[in-house]
Amino acid sequence: MVIGPMNCGKTTLVNSLNDYDGPLRKTQDIIYGKNTIDAPGAYIESPWMYKHLIATAQDASHVLILVDQSRVSNVYPPGFVKAFRCPVIGVITKSDLMAENEDLCFQQLKQIGIPEPYYKISASSGVGMVALKEYLFTFEKKVKGE
């Protein structure tokens, strides 16, 4: 499951994880993909929607919490990851932009309660995508016993 504020790169990441190369569309509702659950940014930006994120995460093997390095905004409450039962992974999107914000992203992920390592990616250039996919899909194979 992929969670993050609007315009942080969620749908681009989801498309990459699902090997989809079609047009981007604004995510207005929760979308179940081949390998992902894509949650709209409005769900994390509206605290009264948290219950929907928590309920939907019951279907997920992992929750990816995204922070946008190009525009750091603190939309997550401290300790937010305690609401999830599956592993939570911190992902810094647009890592090729605004390098001066990297420390702020690390601080935010720590405040949310996500342990390191964090994955720094740029879905548009492909940076960090191989490592993230390898981690996620290797875990999936282990769970399935392959």
Digit-coded pLDDT (tens) for 115-140: 999 999 997 788 999 999 999 988 55
- Alpha-carbon distance 68 to 26, whole Å? 17
User: Which domains does the chain show, CATH number per domain?
Assistant: 2-144 (3.40.50.300)
Is the CB of residue 109 less than 8 Å from the CB of residue 83?
no
The distance from CA 99 to its chain's CA centroid, rounded to whole angstroms, is 19
Interstrand relation of 2-3 and 63-68 (parallel, antiparallel or unpaired): parallel
Host H or E run for residue 139: helix 129-144
Q: Is the pLDDT of residue 144 over 60?
A: no
- Taking only the tens place, the pLDDT of each residue in 89-101 is 999 999 999 999 9
Which of helix, strand or coil describes residue 87?
coil
Report yes or no: 43 and 52 within 8 Å, Cβ to Cβ: yes
Average the pLDDT over each of 26-30, 48-52, 57-61, 104-108 and give the range with the smallest value.
26-30
* Length of the chain (residues): 146
Q: Tell me the three state secondary structure of residue 116.
A: coil
Cα 15 from chain centroid (whole Å): 12
22 or 37, which is more confident: 37
